[in-house]
Chain A
Amino acid sequence: MANAVLAIAHAAKSFGGVQVLKDISLSVAKGDVLALIGPSGSGKSTLLRCATLLETLDGGTLRYDDIAVVEDGVYAPKEVLHAVKSRFGLVFQNFNLFPHLSVMQNITLAQTAVLHRSREEAAGTAWELLCKMGLADRADAYPCELSGGQQQRVSIARALAMNPGILFFDEPTSALDPELTGEILKVIRGLAAEHMTMVIVTHEIGFARNVADRVIFMAGGVIVEEGRPGDVIDNPRSDRTRAFLANLDRK
């Protein structure tokens, strides 16, 4: 817990009287790949949004490395919250690329505006990432000229360019045509091989089993089961997990 990149304890969150997160505790160590699975409405996306400060927790504790973001439901001062954003990156379900900027500009904007890197340095980083993503030839294209899979790869590059200590994925393949999900999963697998610390909310159970070191099954705002993929996915202990997985198999 002491050297966890991300540590969440007793997280609670309600939307208009409905408690969507109930006493959630988890921690992610450096190099860990954690997959969050569960039915829709289970709170896994909300958990991700709270961790990335897009939503505020009602209670609990949230830490990145040595930075306390929320301590017993009390948020750190603004400057701390702003600074901690450099510790994590988020890849959205529907990419959220900036449509008016080219692929290159999408990846360099925050580098120069937030990290104050020089244009050359930012472009160098972007170029390296684009090569890695197999998109070197699309640097001057605009998002609308790319396929969904290409757009998602650009958004992964945009997040990685900020050198986050941990990368969150919010259903990164859900907005893609089935034949395009493979290319994204391949990229994430590649990052896992490089020991990038990641938390992935996904419906791709096979992928979760394959790439994750640890799987958390959430339902009704609580963590139902947690463990190695071989245990949670292949030998679930709880009926709730079994029912969810059986339901997926049928589809």
Chain B
Amino acid sequence: MHFWPMVLALAKGLLTSTEIFALTLLFSLPLGLIIALGRMSKVGFVRQIFRIYISIMRGTPLMLQLFFFYFGPYYVFGIRLNKLSLFGVDYRFISVIIGFSLNYAAYFAEIYRAGIESIPVGQHEAAFVLGLTKPQTFLRIILPQVVKRIVPPVTNEVITLVKDTSLAFALSVMEMFTMAKMEAAAHTTMVPFIVAGVFYYVFNFAVAWSMERVEKSLNYYR
């Protein structure tokens, strides 16, 4: 019976999946805000650049983007990064984080933009007449209200991200799906896929539960 060693191997993979998940959120959530602000810039040229960025990131497969960031530096510029390691992390993993972060930031940017544009103009006007500056208005009046409004769509993206971490198998990063494939092939059994499925589901159950808590904590006003 190889069941428990297999579960252990998947659990190790889950740890890597969780790292991809956490680091992607860490980078893409703030980056998305910058992209959203660029997308709404008053300068047409800047707005156009961010519009194109979002269009490309959403319009091409994430897996292709991962290949681009992993192989691109060598194929395009002849730079060998595969031996590179930062803080003990190899470039394979780094390129996955870059790809996921840049991709998810594009989606978050559009969610932020929808949230920001949904705030009634009267809120801006009230802040303006009171003499608040633009940054003060954004940080103290607009953004707090945006956060409340975008929790449901952000939850959607975060849940998708949990499942998307499996795309890192394309670069043979030892995350849970890669491990499940290896275990399944080694023992010619479906069980690793079922166990991995259970792990993903439990992970997302926890994500949905946490986000619901966040939503409830913002329910003190309408």
Contacts and interface: CB of A to CB of B under 8 A. Distances in A.
A162 B130 contact: yes
Nearest to B148: A100
B122 interface: yes
Nearest to A111: B130
Contacts of B129: 52-54, 85, 88-90
Interface in B46-77: none
Interface stretch (A91-99, A190-198, A219-227): A91-99
Contacts of B128: 53-54, 85
A96 B132 CA distance: 14
A176 to B, nearest CB: 16
Nearest to B139: A113
Interface residues of A, number: 28
B143 to A, nearest CB: 10
A94 B126 CA distance: 11
B221 A54 contact: no
A103 B109 CA distance: 32
A94 B120 CA distance: 11
A2 interface: no
Contacts of A82: 131, 133
A142 interface: yes
A98 B126 contact: yes
Contacts of A144: 221-222
A86 interface: yes
Given A99-B221, A114-B131, A54 B140 contact: no
Interface in B97-150: 120, 122-123, 125-133, 136, 140-141, 144-145, 148
Contacts of B4: none
Given A143-B221, A144-B221, A98 B123 contact: yes
A155 B126 CA distance: 10
Given A113-B140, A144-B221, A85 B131 contact: yes
A98 B125 contact: no
Contacts of B127: 98, 110
B220 interface: yes
A229 to B, nearest CB: 27
Contacts of B141: 98
B145 A99 contact: yes
Interface string A208-243: 000000000000000000000000000000000000
Interface string B147-169: 01000000000000000000000
Contacts of B132: 109-110, 113-114
Given A85-B131, A162-B131, A54 B220 contact: no
Nearest to B119: A99
A97 B136 CA distance: 16
A13 interface: no
Interface in A71-118: 82, 85-86, 88-90, 92, 94, 96-100, 109-110, 113-115
A96 B148 contact: no
Given A100-B145, A109-B140, A110-B131, A142 B126 contact: no
A156 to B, nearest CB: 13
B221 A142 contact: yes
A52 B141 CA distance: 20
A221 B129 CA distance: 24
Interface in A36-78: 52-54
A98 B144 CA distance: 10
Question: Which 8 pairs show the lowest CB-CB distances between chains A and B?
Answer: A96-B126, A110-B130, A96-B122, A114-B131, A144-B222, A85-B131, A142-B221, A90-B129
Given A85-B131, A109-B140, A143-B221, 9 more contacts: A82-B131, A85-B130, A90-B129, A92-B122, A98-B123, A100-B145, A100-B221, A110-B127, A114-B130
8 contacts: A82-B133, A85-B129, A97-B126, A98-B123, A100-B221, A142-B220, A142-B222, A162-B130
